Chain A
């Protein structure tokens, strides 16, 4: 599970929870002195207390909070913007609604804080946050408050508004969810009531009920069943029409024809006063199948919300610099060559552009390179890379859609389209089965029309009901929804659930290195003494120098043991310098520290005096070794496919005990490697996190992306791993294999049951009510068998890390 590194001695910022820099900001808030890492955090804390929202700090527990920007960007460009129009909706007159993504959410307390803060703004009527998908639903009165005011309030707290995904899709999903609920309610109430009346008819064994009463009950049951069949059952009816039009009868055809047969047959019997009606069979059937459909729909919804949140991270507004130097937030697609944009630390560059200053750029998501790359002013900053240490400004050279990241996205989409569609065997079996049943039912009715026309209908109905694909149609969704629930509980969300069977069959695993096998945080491996300064002291000095920056190296050196650096200056691409106890030190590489290739600490006096050299490496995730061992035990071969330098990849492969590795691969080369492995006959599982892994993930038989990586990677993968924890990959495979086994049992049972029951039904030995009972029991068996997947099989057998 997501194990956090504990550094108990480190003092943490009272707001964001990051370790305090050597010179924290102290602030008297609500009678207590609190320490903050930066003025931004202090400002937010003051704001939160002033708004009476101090409960936030109690509610959030150990969680941190996002660090706010030094000055919130100007969102006035969002007021009445053309590009926002499709996302807006008029709730009632004079009220506007908008569905927004929110970046920076950590826990439920964040949701609480946002809701409280926004509802305090006059004119904001609703602010509902769905923590699951990170979606914020806003309703406000544009006459009282402007959207930019609301968004600024959100940004002041440190949360970023994210442009919503396709607004139509979200709207459609909402409408679908609502109609499902209504259909379910109608089916539940209608079928129970209809059951009540038909039950009375069934219990009339001796036929003592007066005929008028019987007919009244029948007509009442008819009245109650009609909306169930035609309103609640509409999805099946329209599904049948669609399937028949395509010439491929499937599940819906069988369900709808079974329902309609029972319904129309009952109606005929009611009209002519025949001995039996089967209204209850028709309505119960719709009800049960609707439940299965709804469960599946919810699972898909969940995954969709996640995908949207992930995709939304890419659509963060870009900060364009106005001629007067102020910032405005704009849609990245609006950027044109020549625009100047500012990119805050850690945010992604929205489009390819040339740097206006020297900068260290983190290109790990694009190339897999684990350490920041030095870029000089005028060099290209690739869309999708992120500045480290200080924010940068770039002059846009290419539109967003033609930028590096967008190009890789395009390649990934193509790879995804080329992949052979996931064809579930269960589905194919079902279609064949359905066609056979319909044929048999037809033949039976013809035969009985010759033998005994008065029983022809009843027998045909029994055939249809007894074989009714309930068990068969439940076999897959029930098992699938159980396994997806279990996976989701362990933090693995299925983007494409169809890939479950491929996950069970995978026999080869291609792993990305940076950010996947390693956690992307550099670690100090060794210190080399260059004079008589002790290594501990050198590390502490270095820690003090980088402690107040946001450079990833900050974490490598740990706490500074009380040393404080003053007048720290950051030189992008070179290093930092600062005064510690009156002495000037520099930390960096290259000319800055006498031409060293590795990171070196020097003391500046008359000249530069080297003190120590540090070796910094990306370190493997703590459970990487264990996870890879478990994968090998499951029969998978492991290979590392990295874009990083060969020596670093080799070192890591050694540590992890992996004998196959390839380094310095570009995105296309990773894909070529994948194709080669597939041609060798392997079913390849790809695991990655970067934009450069996207094509690999999209093209593999089955793929898992780490949610904390690039949005594009998650979108191209079949499964997304929330939080860290490589251990869950072997668990997922074990679960997928179990799913496959249970699916086979389910199908076997459903088909065996049908094969046994069918002859009896064909020869007229099964009454429709008995058929309905058999069907229900069969479905129950399948459902209960699937429910076994809800248990925790992996943790029962194996250890958990």
Chain B
């Protein structure tokens, strides 16, 4: 049963991490548009590059 003492806190910690990551992603606007991104794989372009360049 000692495994539980490790695994339960671990699973709870993972839960908190997952939620924190999701909250961050939502606040970052990644889920704001659930329709348009469906078209993006059809495009071959360098737009994402541009964003990361700007971020640097």
Contact = CB atoms under 8 A, between A and B. Distances in A.
B6 interface: no
B1 A112 contact: no
Contact of A185 (B22, B32, B36, B50): B22
Contacts of B12: 193, 220, 223
A108 B43 CA distance: 10
Given A108-B39, A182-B26, A193-B11, A130 B44 contact: no
Given A116-B47, A182-B22, A111 B39 contact: yes
B31 A189 contact: no
B13 interface: no
B19 interface: yes
Nearest to A91: B29
A220 B31 contact: no
A376 interface: no
Question: Which range contains the number of A residues in contact with the other chain?
Answer: 20 to 34
Given A178-B26, A182-B26, A189 B19 contact: yes
A125 B26 contact: no
The A interface is mostly helix, strand or loop, or mixed, namely: helix
A678 B54 CA distance: 62
Contact of B36 (A59, A128, A213): A128
Contacts of A128: 33, 36
Contacts of A186: 19
A116 B39 contact: no
Interface in B1-28: 1, 8, 11-12, 15, 18-19, 22-23, 26-27
A380 interface: no
A178 B18 CA distance: 16
Nearest to B43: A112
Contact of A116 (B11, B36, B45): B45
A398 to B, nearest CB: 40
A132 interface: yes
Contacts of A193: 11-12, 15
Given A59-B43, A108-B39, A178 B33 contact: no
Contacts of A174: 32
A291 interface: no
B36 A130 contact: yes
Contacts of B19: 185-186, 189
Interface string A25-59: 00000000000000000000000000000010001
A112 B38 CA distance: 12
B26 A119 contact: no
Contacts of A182: 22-23, 26
A181 interface: yes
A414 B19 CA distance: 47
A105 to B, nearest CB: 12
Contact of A131 (B23, B31, B35, B54): B35
A128 B11 CA distance: 37
A361 interface: no
B51 interface: yes
B15 A178 contact: no
A132 B42 CA distance: 17
B42 A59 contact: yes
Contacts of A551: none
Contacts of A178: 26-27, 31-32
A111 B36 contact: yes
A220 B4 CA distance: 12
A63 to B, nearest CB: 14
A113 to B, nearest CB: 10
A129 interface: yes
B26 to A, nearest CB: 5
Given A59-B43, A116-B45, A220 B8 contact: yes
A55 B44 contact: yes
A189 B18 contact: yes
Nearest to A179: B26
Interface in A129-162: 129-132
Contacts of B1: 213
Interface in A49-89: 55, 59
A181 B43 contact: no
A115 interface: yes
A125 B12 CA distance: 38
Contacts of B15: 189, 193
A115 B46 CA distance: 11
A125 B43 contact: no
A300 interface: no
A129 B36 CA distance: 7
A181 B31 CA distance: 8
A131 B26 contact: no
A12 interface: no
A177 interface: yes
Contacts of A181: 22, 26, 31
Contact of B39 (A112, A185, A213): A112
A132 B35 contact: yes
B4 to A, nearest CB: 8
B50 A119 contact: yes
Nearest to A177: B32
Nearest to B8: A220
A129 B51 CA distance: 16
Closest 8 CB pairs of A and B: A108-B39, A132-B35, A185-B22, A178-B26, A181-B26, A130-B36, A181-B31, A119-B47
30 contacts: A55-B44, A59-B43, A111-B36, A111-B39, A112-B43, A112-B45, A116-B47, A119-B47, A125-B51, A125-B54, A128-B36, A129-B36, A130-B33, A130-B36, A131-B36, A131-B39, A132-B35, A132-B36, A177-B31, A178-B31, A181-B31, A182-B26, A185-B19, A185-B22, A189-B15, A189-B18, A193-B15, A220-B8, A220-B12, A223-B12
Given A128-B36, A130-B33, A189-B18, 20 more contacts: A108-B39, A112-B43, A119-B47, A125-B54, A129-B36, A131-B35, A131-B36, A131-B39, A132-B35, A177-B32, A178-B32, A182-B23, A185-B22, A189-B15, A189-B19, A193-B12, A193-B15, A213-B1, A220-B8, A223-B12
